[in-house]
A = this chain, B = another copy of it.
Amino acid sequence: MSDYFSNFAHLKRKTYLKIMNKLTDLSEIGEFGLIERLNKNTVIKNSSTIFGIGDDCAGLTYDGKVVLLSTDAMAEGVHFDMVYTPLKHLGYKACVTNFSDIYAMNGTPKQILISLSVSSKYSLEALEELYEGIHIACEKYGVDIIGGDTTSSKGGMFISITVIGECEKEKVVKRSTAKPNDLICVSGDLGGAYAGLLVLQREKATFLANPNAQPDLSQYDYVIQRQLKPEAGKQTIDLLREKGIQPTSMIDISDGLASEVLHICKASKTGCELYIEKIPIDYQTARTVEEFNILPETAALNGGEDYELLFTIDQKDYEKIKDVENISIVGYIADESLGCKLVTPQNTTMELKAQGFNHYKTQE
């Protein structure tokens, strides 16, 4: 399994052909047959899941806890391109991006509902591959599949997943509760998923020009992994709990650091100072985006889909967090009147702006 996911040699060129090479037409088995087939390996793991697939609704119980809910949608041609997105990775990513929202509230994901719309170009076997990725993600994160809806579409694939999670009432962390002087922290490193996207898009162009070229992508393995198979913030949440740190605010980084910091400041009615030189960037990310004449900090600030956590902590927790691996302190929350500032390594300041991508601008 990890071999499959970490070896990208098989990703190239064949994915699209594989989808088109139909094995079983969906019309042959019908909607109910499809639901049965895709869910045959579904096993309930959580005690909060009373009953899952098989009725008009799933039933859950969450006595004494807050039930957290979020939904995230991905559309073919907008959020993923079938030329370079293997279906197993797509299923995995669709789950993880949803789990990420639950961790961003300091909760634990427990259940998902999957809404899938696919055109007839997809075979049953293609959907089973997608579901294999979904099952692997759910297995890894301890999440139950409790239902969904599968319909046909006239235009490609559309996946919408709703995730349900839980959190003790007093532990829930929102965006709106950062206070001036809190430290701004991020987990992991940023810009990698965007770097991976740039490489995959370049590969697609090369492929369309010359379908027989066999590129060597091994030097981009990390950034491609960041794009095709991101992980959600479970480790960070576990670490913070272990250290006894309750963040004062939190959000997941799906649209780029700048956009997320601004979300927290807007919701909390604060300003901030963010230090460019403190932003964690992997060496491969920096080297890759420079090939495309993009500054690494630009990729980190505005590239999306890293699914790391951005959170603020009270200054009193500084000693607890300062030496924690994989957590970087990148700035601090300021009074609203000071605005949101970006500080350069030369100690000049400029206004922090969100340039995360607007899906509606990239449309045909």
Contact = CB atoms under 8 A, between A and B. Distances in A.
A55 B175 contact: yes
Contacts of A156: 154-155
A120 interface: yes
Contact of A31 (B60, B164, B360): B360
A69 B78 contact: no
Contacts of A114: 71
A78 B120 CA distance: 12
Contacts of A149: 71-73, 160
Contact of A359 (B69, B113, B152, B174): B152
A204 to B, nearest CB: 16
Copies in the complex: 2
**Which of A119, A146, A165, A267 has the largest count of B CB atoms less than 10 A from its CB?**
A119
A58 interface: yes
Given A57-B69, A75-B151, A76-B154, A363 B64 contact: no
Given A75-B152, A358-B30, A358-B31, A59 B101 contact: no
Interface in A71-121: 71-79, 100-102, 104-105, 107, 111, 113-117, 119-120
A67 interface: yes
Given A67-B67, A147-B71, A358-B31, A152 B363 contact: yes
A50 interface: yes
B79 A165 contact: no
A74 to B, nearest CB: 7
B70 A147 contact: yes
A63 interface: yes
A195 interface: no
A170 interface: no
A69 B27 contact: no
Contacts of A69: 57-60, 111, 113, 146-147, 162, 164
B60 A63 contact: no
Contacts of A359: 31, 151-152
Nearest to A76: B154
Contacts of A362: 152
Contacts of A251: 55-56
Interface of A: 25-27, 30-31, 34, 50-51, 54-79, 100-102, 104-105, 107, 111, 113-117, 119-120, 146-149, 151-156, 158, 160, 162-165, 167, 169, 172, 174-176, 250-252, 267, 358-364
Given A55-B174, A57-B105, A162-B162, 17 more contacts: A25-B360, A26-B360, A55-B104, A56-B102, A56-B175, A57-B163, A62-B62, A62-B67, A63-B63, A67-B67, A71-B148, A76-B154, A77-B153, A78-B152, A152-B362, A153-B155, A155-B156
